[in-house]
Amino acid sequence: MTTSLAGKPAPKLSDRMRGKTLPHIGALSREELDEIIHLGEWFRDNRYDMTYADLLKGRVQALLFVYESTRTRMGFEAAMAQLGGTTVYLSVKDTQMGRGESVVDTARALGQFIDVFAGRLWKQEDIDLAAANMPVPVMNACTPVDHETHVIGELMAIKQVKGKLDGLNLVYTGMARGILHSFIRVAPVLGINLTLAVPESYAETVDKDIWAEGEKRAKTSGSRLEICTDLKKAVKGADFIQASTLIRSMLAGEQSEAEKRVNVPDWTVTDEVLDCAKPDVVYSHSGPAHRGVCATSEVMDGPRSIIRDEARNAIFSKKALMALIVK
């Protein structure tokens, strides 16, 4: 396990990212990722150290979400509170966007009232528009092709139990959603070997431009990036299995054509699946998880699961980001 930072002096905050906008995780360099993760670890291990308790006193954060959230919303709100600032949560239906106002006009108005913004929006283009029209740092709180703050928390959880990131074998299984695309962008930068264990129909839904970006980064770093359409084969040699929602219709709406072609039992993470990986493999789920579909309760509640640790890191990844980017 990684060495605890409990009792260590508070890290000095650099200004390299001050005022930086992050429409997706690919906007972060290796050095910036390392700094965010290290600061997040310090915040986690020194929860009640008050060194930065007033860092963002008087600052206001706005969250604008098109659909519900548990971990992301609470992570942002708790993080801002611990830094001394205030959060205003806005559901899109409660704003003028819900009555047809454009993203551009909403962003220009909101930007006059706040110091930092995080958006959970339907399209990546909407986050890009917000970033282009706000005078404050903008963070991506989930789009179909990015979930930067959540993935940074997941990286912290992996490092917490494995002591490192470089050289690890990470298997992702689930839908081709924001979390997956963030991993495709960032895993090669950190020297992580990433295998996408997905049904053949899901492999077709991975963003081709982001995949090409990940391949380019993997070639530079010497890491491995691949797709495997057999779960048990994919997890052989895995250090960490990261699962996500398998069937979108369990959240809302009808099954897509790709989902209709999935034999769910073949993609449910069971103890038998874990036994195909390394003896010290660790499992987690980004949430919300559907028991018996994404994974069995025996896996989710078992000794190889770190789901609760991963959720806890949702606070400290966001806290580190805001401490470094908010002016």
Residue 298's pLDDT is what? 98
> Tokens in use for 16?
């390299």
**138-140 vs 193-197, strand pairing mode:** unpaired
Q: Is residue 250's pLDDT more than 60?
A: no
Q: Is residue 66's pLDDT more than 90?
A: yes
pLDDT tens string 90-125: 999 999 999 999 999 999 999 999 999 999 999 999
Residue 50: CB atoms within 10 Å: 10
pLDDT above 70 covers a percentage of the chain that reads 96
Domains in the chain, start-ordered, CATH in brackets? 25-146+312-325 (3.40.50.1370), 150-311 (3.40.50.1370)
Residue predicted with more confidence, 252 or 121: 121
> Tokens in use for 100?
């047809």
Average pLDDT over the chain reads 94
CA torsion through residues 82, 62, 120, 13, sign: negative
pLDDT tens string 15-47: 999 999 999 999 999 999 999 999 999 999 999
Residue 246's pLDDT is what? 84
Residue 131's pLDDT is what? 97
pLDDT tens string 207-248: 999 999 999 999 999 999 999 999 999 999 999 999 998 876
Half-sphere exposure of 241 (CA within 13 A, CB side): 35
Residue type, 35: E
Q: Are 209 and 24 in contact (CB under 8 A)?
A: no
If pLDDT is split at 50, 70 and 90, which confidence band does 254 have?
A: low
